[in-house]
Amino acid sequence: MIKRSFLISLFLLLSATTALYAQTVSLADAVDTTKSGVINWTIGEVYATGIGAPPSNPSNMAQARAMAERAAYVVALRNLLETVKGVRVDSESVVENFMVKSDLIRTKVDGIVKGARVVKTQYMSDGSVEVLVAMSIRGAFLNAIVPDTFGRTGTVGSSFPIKPSLPAPAPAPASEPAPKPAKPTPPPVPPVPDLKPEPVKPAPQPEKKVEPKKPDVPQPAPVASAPPTVAFKGGVATGLVIDGTGLGLRPALLPRIIDQQGQEVYVGQVVTRTNAVEQGVAGYAKDVNAAANNFRVTDNPAVIKGLRATGNTKTDVVIAQADAQTLREMGNKGDFLQYCRVIIVY
CB–CB of 106/113 below 8 Å? Answer: no
The span from the CA of 307 to the CA of 90, in Å, is 19
* CA 215 and chain centroid, separation: 47
Q: Which of the listed ranges 27-31, 134-138, 195-199 does the model predict with the highest average pLDDT?
A: 134-138
Domain locations in the chain? 9-145, 239-345
When the pLDDT of each residue in the chain is averaged and rounded to a whole number, the result is 81
Taking residue 346's Cβ as centre, other Cβ atoms within 10 Å add up to 23
Instruction: Assess whether pLDDT exceeds 70 at residue 155.
Output: no
Q: What is the pLDDT of residues 75-86, one digit of tens each?
A: 999 999 999 999
Mean pLDDT, range 324-338, rounded to an integer? 93
DSSP symbols for 322-342: HHHHHHHHHHHH-STTTTT-E
Residue 23 has a pLDDT of 60
User: Which of 22-26, 94-98, 291-295 has the least mean pLDDT?
Assistant: 22-26
- Phi/psi for 52 (5° steps) reads -120, 140
What is the residue type of 4?
Answer: R
What's the pLDDT score for residue 60?
82
| Over residues 195-210, mean pLDDT | 55
Query: Quick one: pLDDT at residue 22?
Result: 62
Give me the percent of the chain exceeding a pLDDT of 70: 72
Of 270, 267, 263, 269, give the one whose Cα is nearest residue 320. Answer: 263
What is the structure's pLDDT at 164?
A: 41
Instruction: Please give the average per-residue pLDDT across 318-324, as a whole number.
Output: 97
Q: Report the alpha-carbon distance of residue 177 to residue 172 in Å, rounded.
A: 14
Distance from C-alpha of 71 to C-alpha of 56, rounded to nearest angstrom: 14
pLDDT digits (tens, 9 = 90+) for 3-51: 444 344 444 444 555 566 666 667 778 999 999 999 999 999 999 999 9
How much of the chain is helix, strand and coil, in % rounded to 5?
30, 15, 55
Is 321's pLDDT higher than 90? Answer: yes
What integer pLDDT is reported at residue 157 of this predicted model?
A: 44
So what's the pLDDT on residue 183? 55
Using an 8 Å Cβ cutoff, are 240 and 304 in contact? yes
